Structure 1
Amino acid sequence: MATVNFRLRSKANKNVSIKVYLSLERGNVIELNTGFTINPKDWSKDTDRPKQNNTENKLIFNNLKKLESFLYNNLNTDLGNSILIDTFWLDSKIVDCFDRVVTTDTGLLINHTQSIIDNANTRKIRTNGGFKIGLSKSTIKNYTLFKNIIKEYQTVTKKQIRFIEISKPFADKFTNWLINSKEYSNNYAGKQLEILKTVCIDAEKHEIKINPYSKVIQHFRESDKDRYIQTLSFEELEQIKNTDYSDLEQLKEFKKTNPELTKNLSLTPETLDNARNWILISCEIGQRGGDLLKITNENIRYKGGNMYLDIIQQKTNKSVTIGIIAPHVIEIIENNLPKEIPHQKLNEYSKVVCKMAGIIEVVKGTKLNTETNRKELGNYPKYELIASHCFRRSFASNYYKKIPTAVLIGITGHSKESLFLTYINKREDKDANADLFMKFYEDINKDKKPEMKLIKNGTND
């Protein structure tokens, strides 16, 4: 049985460090400084605790009691989860117990990552139009998740990671751990390497010495053949538009026969119509879910009898204008603009809306396994794979080659065509580009009258 106790290692007539030692089994003892000091004359040999002969010693006594209880509680939890109990573990628990701010060592990867998070609202970000101030919420979240992954990796390696040590062998071992031990997808593992590289480059800008290799760390994504994206075709959107969600008996029966799909959802004609309207709008305007759900009447304007939607994209800070021409979308916006709902709720309702509309074809794709918290490739009914990010892709895919790509990019906000094509899993079609040029050329010149030309026959007649 593990035991926690305290002792002094010096009998000098001055304040000395109070040590905590954790005995896990015979011969396996971990000892560290608690951060507290005391004069040996105020230490009780009988209790291995401070004598409670003055206010200061009483405070130290209570702090050691707090630490002892904290360590026992965490030991029970972490041993049950098969977490390695070592010096690194004990040091982190001492810090956590007293919420101490550790003196920053700028050479440590985790410290600079935390610095980026702490200063997120004042960081300058380069944009197409110059710079903006402040990281987006999603970017801060990505840095926070990355920091937690690094903390876990440090626990495994029993070593804090320094920038100078981020070499090719380190990157290879870290990649192997991400994919084989953590079983992250190629996309997610590659994203962590991309963030690692970004943090290293940022550290160098702050005059922190880094390993030169860290600036050329190779990150990766799934290959095109391994990517499975889901979109709603014009025909499927027509099915959704024409489905009747008002039959209360039908909704009651649907909820009864689909308990997992409808769990925690209020299945009413109003909630389903609201989700349906968000889907129909989204597939015609090509915006991210966060921007979509913030649309109000203030984003709508009219000019020359036409409807326009003006949005400033949260992620890129780009100002985008979309012309609304689909009659059913104009009707929704003017007469029944949907109410804002949480992003995750829209994802959940969308699956119900799609299943009720008959979007049940079995397709190949990736779906989250809630037990392993990992996405798994398989064959699933299409409605199970539909979420808000599919709507933006539907817009881009449905109108690709029907409308010039440059126009679509201006609406979706992609910075270049290659990113747009990757987004919809398409390769550049040079013949299609040539065909499109010829079509526009013909349209430009269709009203021009043919010109008569005098052709010389080579004689003076």
Structure 2
Amino acid sequence: MANIIFYLRGNKEPKKIYLRYRPNRDFNLSISTPFSILSDNWNDKSKEWDTSKIIKGAKTTETKKHNAEIANFNKRLNAFKLEISNLIDDNLNLSSLELKDFLKKYILINYFGHKIDADKKYTIPIKFDSLIDYYIQYRSIEDKTQNKKPISENTIKKYKGLKNTLHKFDRQLKVTDINNAFRNKFVEWLNKQSYSVQTQTKYLKDIKMLCRFSETEHNISKEVLNWKINRNPDNITKGLYFSFIQLSILENLPLTGSLDNARDWLIISCYTALRVSELLSLDVNNIIEVDKRKYIKVIERKNINTATGGVKYTPLIPKILKIMDKRGGKFPEAVSEQYYNRQIKKVCKIAGFDKMVESAKTKNTGNGNRRIEGKYPFYDLVTSHIGRQTAVTLFSQYIAPETLQLMTNHQSMEMLNHYNKTDIDTRQQQKAIKLYQALEDIEFNPNQLN
């Protein structure tokens, strides 16, 4: 991000705030901003309204208004800095004079025209890439008054991915440009770039959410707020999981060294439904015993900002304890996720899991990494996620959904069902069997049927 510095300039009060951008000795850009401030209120170290002037424990309307004015000013100044920094990053090909002229016009149109006036003082950036940065910054702060936890690193990574994609589509995109026409053009472009329907769905959901977030300050099209987005689009990879027969083959496969280590982690994942980040960090020091049954405490990174702090306990069933017994009561040796993914492919190839499967595989294309549909050997499609999918799919026919949800710790039943890779016909048969068993246990009294 472009390094911008604010400074005061002028002899009259309040003084104008200028920005300076000087990436090297030969490039020096100074330009007036839409902001001004009394020099006594300026903190030259933090480059903002001096927050030490905030009155602590303010009780009167006047002091509360004073504090709000400082907070609002600094918030708008920081949002402006973020927006201009992104503009500079997007136009690094311009000379100092060209960039100065470009920024002057941009500030004139977007700020002096309608932003910095008595009626409209915007905090939320109108430019979409700046909006994403602002939202990440806004949601990275814990707000206990609203019971809001900061967003996770994975969520931040997801939003940055959206920003990078939108940069390729339209660097100057504004939140007020989002409507049905934008959606059609964007989806058409995503199709040409070979983005999967799952990725497209995620992008549109996040764009809609960010538009809703912005509607308090910007004129957002009602078309966007009424967008219908398929929450569970057809997934070409929906059938990938181990059967009980395949699990048995894996358990009895004669392996040594690193392949034996990877195989054992893979089996543990299928009987715990743990995400790979938690799986490979299992520690025997976190094992507890209750009524002669063993459990292990796990911290789920994905849920670390929830009310539970990501804490859950996972049962260590006999099949897992058997694996640990051959290692003197310890788990397999910890390895990196990348190495683990490579090794389990080798294990499955040795196991003979080479049936051709219609699926999608990530490949490097002229447009970047994309999931390319086709037929691939089963072993070549295996990733660490197969353990979680296998657990949900196989155990769903024996365990009630509510109990299975305790195992996976999914926040919704909808997400749990997304991991169940059993085909629809088999699921319906399983329901019929359970219904038959329930009816079979009922003793019908002829008098009750009248």
TM-score of the two chains, using structure 2 as the length reference: 0.65
The one-letter amino acid paired with 2:26 is N
Q: 1:202 to 1:36 in 2, by over 3 A?
A: closer
> What's the Cα RMSD here?
3.9
Given the alignment of the two structures, is residue 150 of structure 1 paired with residue 166 of structure 2, yes or no?
yes
Given the alignment of the two structures, is residue 376 of structure 1 paired with residue 346 of structure 2, yes or no?
no
Given the alignment of the two structures, is residue 63 of structure 1 paired with residue 55 of structure 2, yes or no?
no
Which residue number corresponds to residue 281 of structure 1? 268
Q: 1:133 to 1:222 in 2, by over 3 A?
A: closer
Q: 1:184, CA displacement in angstroms?
A: 0.7
Query: Secondary structure of the equivalent of 2:169?
Result: helix
Which residue number corresponds to residue 354 of structure 2? 360
Which residue number corresponds to residue 329 of structure 1? 320
Q: 1:92, CA displacement in angstroms?
A: 4.0
Q: 1:209 to 1:294 in 2, by over 3 A?
A: farther
The one-letter amino acid paired with 2:434 is L
Q: 1:349, CA displacement in angstroms?
A: 1.0
Match of 2:434 among 427, 433, 436: 436
Larger Rg, first or second structure (1 or 2): 1
Match of 1:301 among 270, 285, 288: 288
Q: 1:216, CA displacement in angstroms?
A: 2.7
Unaligned runs of 5+ in 1: 1-34, 38-58, 67-86, 247-268, 456-461
Query: Secondary structure of the equivalent of 2:376?
Result: strand
1:48-447 matched pairs, under 5 angstroms: 62-64=25-27, 91-94=91-94, 106-122=125-141, 131-155=147-171, 160-180=172-192, 182-204=193-215, 207-220=217-230, 223-224=233-234, 226-246=236-256, 269=257, 271-316=258-303, 317=306, 318-325=310-317, 327-333=318-324, 335-372=329-366, 373-426=369-422, 427=424, 429=427, 432-433=430-431, 435-436=433-434, 439=437
Verify the 8 A CA contact 2:264 2:332 in the aligned structure 1: yes
Verify the 8 A CA contact 2:236 2:373 in the aligned structure 1: no
C-alpha separation in 2, matches of 1:346 and 1:95: 48
Q: 1:227, CA displacement in angstroms?
A: 4.5
Q: 1:175, CA displacement in angstroms?
A: 1.1
C-alpha separation in 1, matches of 2:406 and 2:95: 50
Q: 1:241, CA displacement in angstroms?
A: 1.7
Identity %, equivalent residues:
24
Verify the 8 A CA contact 1:229 1:424 in the aligned structure 2: no
Q: 1:90, CA displacement in angstroms?
A: 7.7
Q: 1:199, CA displacement in angstroms?
A: 1.3
Q: 1:272 to 1:425 in 2, by over 3 A?
A: closer
Q: 1:393, CA displacement in angstroms?
A: 0.2
Q: 1:105, CA displacement in angstroms?
A: 7.1
Verify the 8 A CA contact 2:240 2:421 in the aligned structure 1: no
Unaligned runs of 5+ in 2: 1-18, 30-86, 108-122
Aligned residues: 340
Cα deviation 1:44-93 (Å, max 9, x = unaligned): xxxxxxxxxxxxxxx99942499xxxxxxxxxxxxxxxxxxxx9998344
